[in-house]
């Protein structure tokens, strides 16, 4: 009996060691500070109107703002709140303070927290963004699921970018007695160089945003929360991709074509 218990403990320890090695190999033991891009903490006061919060998000091209009072984080207002607490409930955006629609007392992280811990919190609590605070509890930046995913794509480009697409959207269409179109070719705009490729990608993403926005509005009108969640995820991903593409196009024009390309050459 004792030998069986000891054997089980050894197996548990070995599995734990293998899991730790796997996390190290995947780069998930790196601290949040290792992420190449962390979005700055854009703050707004709790008494500010919902319209002011939305205008700030649009102006800064962010999917959330941090609600701060006396230097301390008291809440987070996200695009999900806009959809579920504002648009869906016909809120007066000019008279309603953002405090009434924010998520109060949000989960926070610190820069020395590991990526795996951040992913765990996002997965368990259903967050896409978590504020990062300093030792005094003051917000400094916030980390997004998108930032972590892009970091992993840089580490493992072939393994991640060659994954097959998720069947979730097809399953949803079938569930609603529709027929998913799987064979219609997608028109790809191939650029003659890096700059034209980036600009073509940006143009296509911008064309798709209004379509997704109209579809989300229709889902809310029809109370179709299942389709809304799928489309909301696509919209968030597209908006963040637009922000990245716009930054790349701007950077290319600032530093020049040759310098931009030289920064992205990988040593052989």
Tens of pLDDT, residues 1-23: 444 444 454 354 444 444 445 54
- Flag whether pLDDT at 86 surpasses 70: yes
Compute the average pLDDT of residues 119-147.
82
Domains and CATH numbers, the chain: 32-151 (3.10.580.10), 164-263 (1.20.1260.10)
HEC readout, the chain: CHHHHHHHHHHHHHHHHHHHHHHHHHCCCCEHHHCCCCEECCEECCCCEHHHHHHHHHHHCCCEEEEEECCEEEEEEEHHHHHHHHHHHCCCCCCCEHHHCCEECCCCECCCCEHHHHHHHHHHHCCCEEEEECCCCCEEEEEEHHHHHHHHHHHCHHHHHCCCCCCHHHHHHHHCCCCCCCCCCCCCCCCCCHHHHHHHHHHHHHHHHHHHHHHHHHHHHCCCHHHHHHHHHHHHHHHHHHHHHHHHHHHHHHHCHHHHHHHCCCCC
Q: Which carries the bigger pLDDT value, residue 166 or residue 135?
A: 135
Tokens found for residue 16 = 């734990």
pTM, entire model: 0.52
What mean pLDDT value characterizes the chain? 76
Most confident of 69-73, 162-166, 197-201: 69-73
**pLDDT attached to residue 75:** 93
Cα gap 7→17, rounded to integer Å: 15
């Amino acid at each position: 009996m004792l030998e069986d218990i000891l054997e089980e403990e050894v197996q548990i320890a070995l599995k734990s060691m293998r899991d730790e090695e796997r996390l190290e190999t995947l780069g998930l033991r790196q601290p949040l500070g290792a992420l190449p891009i962390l979005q700055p903490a854009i703050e707004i006061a709790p008494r500010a109107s919902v319209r002011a919060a939305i205008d700030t998000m649009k102006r800064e091209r962010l999917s959330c703002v941090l609600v701060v009072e006396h230097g301390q984080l008291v809440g987070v207002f996200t695009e999900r709140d806009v959809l579920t607490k504002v648009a869906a409930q016909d809120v007066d955006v000019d008279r309603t303070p953002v405090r009434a629609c924010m998520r109060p007392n949000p989960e926070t992280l610190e820069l020395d927290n590991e990526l795996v811990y951040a992913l765990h919190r996002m997965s368990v609590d259903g967050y896409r963004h978590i504020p990062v605070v300093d030792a005094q509890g003051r917000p400094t930046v916030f980390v997004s699921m998108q930032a972590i995913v892009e970091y992993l794509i840089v580490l493992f480009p072939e393994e991640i970018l060659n994954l097959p697409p998720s069947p979730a959207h097809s399953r949803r269409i079938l569930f609603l007695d529709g027929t998913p179109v799987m064979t219609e070719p997608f028109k790809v705009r191939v650029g003659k160089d890096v700059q034209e490729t980036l600009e073509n990608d940006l143009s296509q993403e911008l064309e798709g945003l209004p379509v997704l926005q109209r579809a989300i509005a229709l889902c809310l009108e029809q109370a179709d929360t299942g389709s809304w969640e799928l489309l909301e995820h696509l919209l968030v991903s597209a908006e963040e991709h637009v922000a990245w593409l716009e930054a790349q196009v701007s950077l290319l024009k600032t530093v020049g074509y040759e310098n931009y390309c030289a920064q992205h050459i990988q040593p052989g």
